[in-house]
Chains A and B, each alone.
Chain A
Amino acid sequence: MKLNFLNFKTLASIILATGLMTSCSSDDTIIDTDPETETPDTEEPVEQDSRWITIAGAKMGENPGDGNGGTLIYSVTSEDAKDPSVQIDPFNNGFVAPSNRTARLQSSEDGNTIFNISYAGDTGGNYTKYTVDGGGTFTQTGSEISIAPYVGTAPRWIKLFDGDKTGAAVYVDTEHQVDDNGTPDDVTDDTYLYTNSTIGVVTLDLVDSQINNFEEHVLTLSDEESAAGYYISRIDMPTLNAAGNKLYIGARVSKIDPATLENDSDYEILGSKTIVLDYPSLLNPTVITSTIGHGNTNGYRSINAFEYSGSVYQANQGDPEGSYILKINADNTYDDTYDFNLDEALGVTGAYVLAWRPAANGKAVLAYRHEGSEEGVAGAQGFFALVDLNARTAVKIDDIPYDPDFYLFQYQGFVVEGSEIYLTQGAVGENGNIYVVDTETGEVTKGAELINATGSHFIGVF
């Protein structure tokens, strides 16, 4: 029973309606902001070279560029996305993805479905999928399920590249182990042993919306490393190997001071590490270490590792020598002969990979910042580069306009269509454009204009 005698909106609507009726003039026109849904008849049944391009924008919370005000998505056809005369305004016409903090979105390979697992809040951990119907219309399909009981309400998840069948989410919890030397009340003879990292991995059937598998394991680094206080503190970015029988999970290694168990800073960074599990059983965890790169492999908001030509290529972050692209061979070990340093390739210092995506030809678009980046309103300025995984080259894409407020830390999505890669460009609070990079030729095409909102920014295409 809903007793609402104080419904001001109704009252206001009545007054407004009355006002309109009495003062209506004939030149009132309704501006159609959503042409796609207006003309369903003209849509081709299956258009071979058209794909929905879903643009995502992160609205500001309290500070410009913080992206904490919610994630809005809006879809156009790839023709429209490439047409610079088209204007897209996701902040006014978009769909608000149901996530308390910035949503981590994934799209199906054909672009017709958007997958979301909401991050934090009351629905944190809920998996939902939407059919892309163009414009701000996203229709929820399938039953809602939650992975929260397995990996918590703030899960780090990614869609595996297995034909949109599976999603994987991970969780880690750490516990420091101390030997109290039989004297539980005397702290002076206590010694730190090592830190355990309990990892949980859940796989999710994206088609039938159900839990496939879940395993938890306790991991400890090598005796020497763990005794010195190193441990796996965060894991993310599960990626399938080419054979589809191993799952790689990116890891971040932190360190505590063994004397006081307080967080250490300014310590020697270990070789980049990845956890390898059997797939689909999620059993037999091992940790592999690179001798080339020294940094974390857990990425941030966008996919950090991709399979190409039988191997998995993985970016690292926080490497003292600048980010590397690392290679994991088909035998599930790091290829220590593959040395691709972005500082060297780009001619900068302190390169930091924020997001990247290769096309099937081994050429990729990569978002990065470096020590020379200007400090914009929301952080260090970002850039895009064209990368060739085989030639180990990276070139800054100069045909895209850059601005000190061009901020890519939260950047999530690229769309690969053949050898073309779509991306969004736009400084915080400023209008931008979709750009399409032809990875073969390096040619950059300016696409649809993106209408921004104050303090907001675009975080990619899906």
Chain B
Amino acid sequence: MKNLITLLLLSTFYTGLSQVQTGTITGSVKDPSGTPMSYANILIEGLNRGVLTNEEGNFNLSNVPFGKHTIVVSFIGYHTRSKTIEVNKEYTDIQVNFTIQENVENLDEVTVNGKTEKTALETKGFSVNSIETKEAGLRSIQTNELLNTTVGVKIRQNGGLGSNVEYSLNGLSGRSVSIFIDGIPISIYGSSFSLNSIPPSMIKNIEVYKGVVPGHLSSDAVGGAINIVLHEGGKNNLNASVSYGSFNTIQTNLNGAYRFSESGFTVKASAFHNYSDNDYKISGRTIVDIAPNGVQTPIVARRFHDAYRSTGGMAQIGYTNVDWADQFLVGFTASDEYKEVQHGTFVTISPYNGRFLESDALLANLTYQKKNLLAKGLDLNITGVYGKRNRVINDTVAQAYTWAGKRLVGFDGEYLDYIWNSQNENGPTLANIERKVASVRSGLSYTVNDHHKVLFNHVYSGVDREDSDEMVSLLENTFQQTSDLYKNIFSLSYELNTFEDKFKLNAFGKHYWQKVLNTKPVFNEDNTAVIDEIYQSDNDYTGYGFAASFIVIPTITLLTSAEKAIRLPSENEVFGDAGDNLLPNLSIKPETSNNLNIGFRLGKFNFNKHAVTLSSNFFARNIENRIGLPANADGLRESDEFIQYTNLENTAESKGIEAEFFYTYDNNLGFNFNVTRMSLTTVNSGVETNVPNVPLFTMNAGLRYTLKDVFQTNSILNLFYNTYYTDEFTFKFAAGTNTTGEEEFLIPEQVSHDFGLSYTFPKKNFVMSFDVKNIFDQATYDNLSVQKPGRAFYLKLNYIINNF
């Protein structure tokens, strides 16, 4: 449809041109078997002119000015071909015929769509990256690792598989970044169904919006959003994989969908199971064995209490591509996780042995999507999730251990038990946190015509939380205050598409509404029953933004986006915490951030078999009304005085540049490189300081090479090489010019290298892959003193059937 319009537009345009010194190019496009290829794209490079082939595979380009021209033919799923011809006085009527070959790699329709969708998404104006999972899904690569190679994204993980992860977008992290699964906040699912556990092969693609987030993904995050798009149903396929590797790591995954073509009845299911001992070797200043008198000997230790297991799945039934629904699916998501905890935030000389976390979630889900509902151009889409999730923190072992994996012998020759009776210094706990969760995302859009579209979106999420701890008395449990959080975010967007598709605009407004219910149990007057006193806080706020793109010429696109983003105060910030001497502050204002992106995208430039794309983005974030504790909080707390969260006068600023470069050669060779360089500062009482513990300079590079017919005809061998660089950064604030002793707080510069290969057997049903991570076994750290796994090997088998 779009192409047709382009064609129409172009032909109108061309007929209007004057006819001096021009010629005509005609020709045909066929596949190797001689079948004419209709609707193939024909482009005269550098002239911004193109046509589509007709039903017979023929094309005609008239009024081509004299000179040398490169004619490029492309068709989705086929290799691009080009020929250079010269139009002059002698040759005014030239015929060029093309035979184009199927691109075996892109056989899968999803990838083809994904590619076009990727480019479409990335040229809308947002600072967004669409990460494809197709290739990675066949390898032993985790979703988090995939995200980490994306420009502007930094993942900081506290150890191996399953350990805690923090996501940073252009330097903003923590609560500044929202993560969604199909538009539903990931916090609804809990840690058992997270980026740590969901395998890439369950994911269609990942969208990373930096700073400016479109209306349909609304959340009160000032840094941006990551949206995990799971595979849609409606296509028959089955894929199963198993990966095994270092540290006794096993990762299995099964995905399948079946649609009865007559009724449209669809069954869709996926399941995963991950396990790892995470018993990798670590060393460093705190990895020591301890003699009874306290003397420490540095050792190389194997982590011994760090196992991780996660199991989960999702099943849905319903109808797809029927009259009344494009998708109507109901189902459930279930997941379960077990994680041993080897140490706290930092790796100290005292490893934990006995602390573990368990979590599970059981949620019902519903999806309804229908295009052209009631009227043409009116699209509706609803996704809802409702259920319960639990988390247990178990820490009741008092015995002290050393990194040698043995019990610590104290100064008196006896085994030492910690005085705090647990591994973590905060004392024994058997905390059980139950949450009833619900989230509904709905979107209604109306396409007025090819130029105008209006979208209305709403996201509701509610968490009803119940805490108890078996290690404290019922009396104490009973009078724990609890907070329930309900959020509604409404957004209205307007999309404009004009100047022959060259200019795109998405302007949006978002209205945030948050309700926090604070339940304070008290005895009734005669102490016969416990009643709940409920305090309520309502907060609402409005934000707005836009994204725009302009195609100067097909190979130059300018992109810009800006948003006034909001972060609503959390329940603690509103209601305080009596146990922590924190007073409520019911009048606290949300944090706001003015976010700006200005970027460009050059390419794709094709010359011969080379193709190059370059894109870059400048970003600026300015956070105001930051919520925090007052400067003298430590002191006030120390003297038992009460404190409260307030909006601080200090602002935070992040500024930087990111750039990405892609190069391909004849679809055999692919190279990509990206770099992010930024600054993050806070300004307080007119004093500007760098925020510590933020990596400011990162680079990633990847190389892929495809060989065909290795060992067997019709097989494909892909070789991969990736390297990651993070500049040194300091855990503490920058010091003076001539100081000493800083090295204690440095997170050193890091370079690590991965290598992988995947082999697709001739029938395309089997893919085997082999990966080596951290080839040179370097000590890498995302966080101070927390070493990540060294060299590791993984072997993976995939079995795929499509369209049975």
Stretch at the interface among B325-333, B682-690, B763-771: B682-690
Chain B, residue nearest A233 (CB): B640
B736→A453 contact, CB < 8 A: yes
Judging by beta carbons under 8 Å apart, are A377 and B685 in contact?
Answer: yes
Counting chain A CB atoms within 10 Å of each CB, which of B473, B581, B733, B745 scores highest?
Answer: B473
Task: Tell me if B739 counts as interface (CB < 8 A to partner A).
Answer: yes
Q: Which of B475, B581, B733, B735 contacts A61 (CB 8 A)?
A: B733
Could you tell me if B739 and A136 are in contact, using CB atoms closer than 8 angstroms?
A: yes
A94 touches B530 (CB 8 A): no
Whether A1 and B578, one on each chain, are in contact in the complex, defined by CB atoms closer than 8 angstroms, is no
Contact A92 B737 (CB under 8 A): yes
A2–B736 touching, CB < 8 Å: no
**Option from A95, A173, A429 in Cβ contact (under 8 Å) with B427:** A173
Question: With A and B bound together, what is the CA distance between A65 and B650 in angstroms?
Answer: 14
Instruction: Please state if A70 and B735 are interface contacts (CB–CB under 8 Å).
Output: yes
Report the bound CA distance from A381 to B59 in whole Å: 85
User: Of residues 92 to 147 in A, which have CB atoms within 8 Å of B's CB atoms?
Assistant: 92-98, 121-126, 136-138, 143-147
Complex Cα–Cα for A300 and B632 (A): 14
Residues on B with C-beta less than 8 A from A254 are 640
Interface string of B780-798 (1 = CB under 8 A from A): 0000110000000000000
A32–chain B nearest beta-carbon distance, Å: 11
The residue that A171 contacts in the complex, of B400, B419, B475, B738, with Cβ under 8 A, is: B419
Asked whether B606 is an interface residue with its Cβ less than 8 Å from the other chain, the reply is no
Stretch of A184-192, A360-368, A388-396 on the interface side? A184-192
Contact B741 A96 (CB under 8 A): yes
A378 CA / B416 CA spacing, docked (Å): 42
Instruction: Tell me whether A64 and B296 are in contact in the complex, defined as CB-CB below 8 angstroms, given that A96-B740, A317-B639 are known contacts.
Output: no
Asked whether any CB of chain B lies closer than 8 Å to the CB of A69, the reply is yes
B476–A92 touching, CB < 8 Å: no
**Smallest Cβ distance from B118 to chain A, in angstroms?**
29
Are A124 and B684 in contact (CB-based, < 8 A)?
no
Query: Which residues of the partner chain A approach B16 to less than 8 Å between Cβ atoms?
Result: none
List residues of B (525-547) whose CB comes within 8 Å of A's CBs. 527-530
With both beta carbons as reference points, the residue of chain B lying nearest to A140 in the complex is identified as B741
For residue B425, CB closer than 8 A to chain A, the reply is yes
In this assembly, does B47 line the interface, its C-beta being within 8 Å of a C-beta of chain A? no
Q: Which residue of B lies closest to A153 (CB)?
A: B348
B705 within 8 A of A: no
Chain B contacts of A70 at CB under 8 A? 732-733, 735, 745
For residue B579, CB closer than 8 A to chain A, the reply is: yes
A261–B528 touching, CB < 8 Å: no
Inter-chain contact A98/B744, CB cutoff 8 Å: yes
- Supposing A96-B744, A455-B687 touch, asked if A379 and B632 sit within 8 A by C-beta, the answer is yes
Within 8 A of A (CB), among B621-661: 628, 630-632, 634-636, 638-640, 642, 648, 650
Q: Are B631 and A6 in contact (CB under 8 A)?
A: no
Interface pick from A21-29, A209-217, A237-245, A324-332:
A209-217
In the complex the two chains form, is A192's CB within 8 Å of B475's CB? Answer: yes
A3, A143, A190, A453: the one contacting B295 at CB < 8 Å is A143
A68: B residues at CB distance < 8 A: 733
| Contact indicator A455/B738 (Cβ below 8 Å) | no
Asked if B631 contacts A379 (CB within 8 A), the reply is: yes
Interface residue A161 (Cβ < 8 Å from any Cβ of B): no
Determine if B632 and A378 form an interchain contact, defined as CB atoms under 8 angstroms apart.
yes
The bracket for how many chain A residues form the interface is 35 or more
A314-350 CB mask vs B (1 if < 8 Å, else 0) is 0001100000000000000000000000000000000
**Shortest Cβ distance from A347 into chain B, in angstroms?**
22
Query: In this complex, what residue of B is CB-closest to A145?
Result: B294
- Are A122 and B785 closer than 8 Å at their CB atoms? yes
Q: Which of B62-70, B200-208, B285-293 contacts A (4 or more CB under 8 A)?
A: B285-293
Chain B residues within an 8 Å CB radius of A1: 776-778
Query: For the complex, what is the distance from the CA of A184 to the CA of B736, rounded to whole Å?
Result: 59
Report yes or no: B738 in contact with A92, Cβ–Cβ below 8 A.
yes
Given contacts A1-B778, A188-B527, A213-B411, contact A455 B296 (CB under 8 A): no
B 341-375 to A, binary, CB cutoff 8 A, 1 in contact else 0: 00000111110000000000000000000000000
Q: Does A207 contact B (CB under 8 A)?
A: no
Q: A192 to B473: give the CA distance in the assembly, Å.
A: 10
- In the complex, A147 Cα to B579 Cα: how many Å? 28
Answer whether residue A165 sits at the interface, using C-beta atoms and an 8 A cutoff.
Answer: no
**Are B741 and A263 neighbours in the complex by a CB distance under 8 Å?**
no
Per the bound structure, the CA–CA distance linking A60 and B295 in Å amounts to 34
Q: Is B14 an interface residue (CB 8 A)?
A: no
Contact A4 B751 (CB under 8 A): yes
Of listed A61, A68, A200, A352, residue having the most chain B CB within 10 A: A61
Q: Is B496 an interface residue (CB 8 A)?
A: no
Cα distance A317–B635 when bound, in Å? Answer: 12
Q: Does A230 count as interface, using CB distance less than 8 angstroms?
A: no
Secondary structure dominating the interface of B: loop
| List of A residues within 8 angstroms of B528 by Cβ | 188
Of the candidates A93, A216, A409, which one forms a contact with B632 in the assembled complex, judged by CB atoms under 8 Å apart? A409
Point out the residue from A2, A121, A138, A318 that lies within 8 Å of B778, measured CB to CB. A2
Q: Give Cα distance in the complex from A200 to B425, angstroms.
A: 13
A residues near B27, Cβ cutoff 8 Å: none
Determine if B742 is an interface residue (Cβ-Cβ < 8 Å).
yes
Q: B141 CB to closest chain A CB, in angstroms?
A: 22
| B478 touching A153, Cβ below 8 Å | no
A455 (CB) vs chain B CBs: closest residue? B687
- Complex CA–CA separation, A189 to B639 (angstroms): 35
Q: Report the nearest A residue to B685, measured CB to CB.
A: A64
Assess whether A33 is in contact with B738, with CB atoms less than 8 Å apart. yes
Q: Which residues of B contact A126 (CB under 8 A)?
A: 349
Return chain B residues, CB-CB under 8 Å to A377.
Answer: 631, 685
- The answer to whether B741 touches A66, judged by C-beta atoms less than 8 angstroms apart, is no
B737 & A409 in contact (Cβ 8 Å cutoff)? no
Tell whether B232 is near chain A: CB-to-CB under 8 Å.
no
**A64 to B: closest C-beta gap in Å:** 5
Q: Please, which residues of chain A bring their CB within 8 A of the CB of B607?
A: none
- Asked if A149 contacts B685 (CB within 8 A), the reply is no
Residue of B nearest to A260 (CB): B479
A368 to chain B, nearest CB (A): 13
Bound state CA distance, A146 and B410, in angstroms?
A: 12
A119: min CB distance to chain B, Å: 12
Known: A1-B778, A98-B741. Contact between A69 and B522, CB under 8 A? no
Contact in complex: A123, B732 (CB < 8 Å): no
User: Which chain A residues border B348 with CB–CB below 8 Å?
Assistant: 122-125, 148, 153
Q: How far is the CB of A189 from chain B (nearest CB, A)?
A: 9
Q: Interface code A181-199, partner B: CB below 8 Å = 1, 0 otherwise?
A: 0001101101010000010
The CA of A115 and the CA of B579, in the complex, are separated in Å by: 34
Known: A72-B736, A259-B523. A5 touches B475 (CB 8 A): no
Report A262-276 residues with CB < 8 Å from chain B CB. Answer: 262-263, 265
Q: Please give me the residue from chain B that is nearest to A199 by CB atom.
A: B419
Pair B640/A93 contact, Cβ less than 8 Å: no
Decide if B346 touches A122 in the complex (CB within 8 Å).
yes
Q: Is A252 an interface residue (CB 8 A)?
A: yes
A85 within 8 A of B: no
Rounded to whole angstroms, the CA-CA distance of A318 and B528 in the bound complex is 37
Are B744's CB and A149's CB within 8 A?
no
Q: Which chain B positions have C-beta within 8 A of A216?
A: 419
Q: B736 is contacted by which of A5, A91, A317 (Cβ under 8 Å)?
A: A91
14 A-B interface contacts by CB (under 8 A): A3-B751, A70-B732, A70-B733, A97-B741, A121-B346, A122-B286, A124-B348, A145-B295, A146-B290, A175-B427, A192-B475, A198-B419, A261-B475, A265-B642
Identify the 6 closest CB pairs spanning chains A and B, nearest first: A92-B736, A63-B631, A122-B346, A69-B733, A379-B632, A96-B741
B residues contacting A by CB (< 8 A) are 285-286, 290, 293-296, 346-350, 400, 408, 410-412, 416, 418-421, 425, 427, 472-476, 478-479, 521-523, 527-530, 578-579, 581, 628, 630-632, 634-636, 638-640, 642, 648, 650, 682, 684-685, 687, 689, 691, 699, 725, 727, 732-733, 735-742, 744-745, 749, 751, 753, 776-778, 784-785
- Given A66-B631, A318-B639: 10 more A-B contacts, CB < 8 Å: A62-B628, A69-B689, A91-B739, A96-B740, A98-B744, A154-B425, A190-B473, A192-B475, A254-B640, A379-B632
